[in-house]
Amino acid sequence: MCEIYGYVRVSSRDQNEDRQMIAMRSCGVPEHHIYIDKQSGKDFNRPQYRALVRELKEGDLLYLKSIDRLGRNYEEIIEQWQYLTKTLGIDIVVIDMPLLDTRRGKDVLGTFLSDIVLQVLSFAAENERENIRQRQAEGIAAARQRGVRFGRPEADLPEGFEEMCRKWKRNEIRAGEAARRLGMSLNSFYYHARKFSEKS
């Protein structure tokens, strides 16, 4: 007997999958057959996707909201599509693209048309991923030029650190004693003392 499944993917944990879930329910996909991943579509190493593939058997039907929910790597999307439809023998429906419904057009022309549409959409999905990466890189570069600093903010140094650092540089106090008086670890004192020396 044919089972109906749905696959939902959002790129990060703070993104909302509601729109995709509504689409799945409207297609009659049972709640317990909807698999959700909250991670990038750059590859197929996703726990829920892998669990879904293990469940699928010949004759089953899989719903996707759009082709980029399956993934964003052109070659891997094509490879997975072939694996799902040819090797496992399931049907796939891409809700946002009615031409990508393997239940229709099982003849040569129908298969040819759906293959063309799949290739175009897969290319577009990967192209968009590359554009996103480029925009992120450009945004980070522009922010750095404006003086924005990335990473963890520097911890505030203890009061009197600069004076203690100068004494240490003049060999008036040992590093271990300076660190003890400041309430710092020796490694932390050395690290910040070096940075202070570079600035001064």
- Residue 35: its H or E element: strand 34-38
| C-alpha of 140 from chain center | 18
Helices (H), 42-95: 47-55, 67-70, 74-82
Closest CA to 34 of 58, 59, 10: 10
- CA–CA gap between residue 77 and residue 53 (Å, rounded): 14
Closest CA to 7 of 78, 56, 43: 56
Specify whether 122 is catalytic.
Answer: no
What the block records as the tokens of 184 is 């710092």
Q: Contact 96/27 with Cβ under 8 angstroms? A: no
Q: Which of 11, 40, 66, 188 is catalytic?
A: 11
Q: Which residues are catalytic?
A: 11
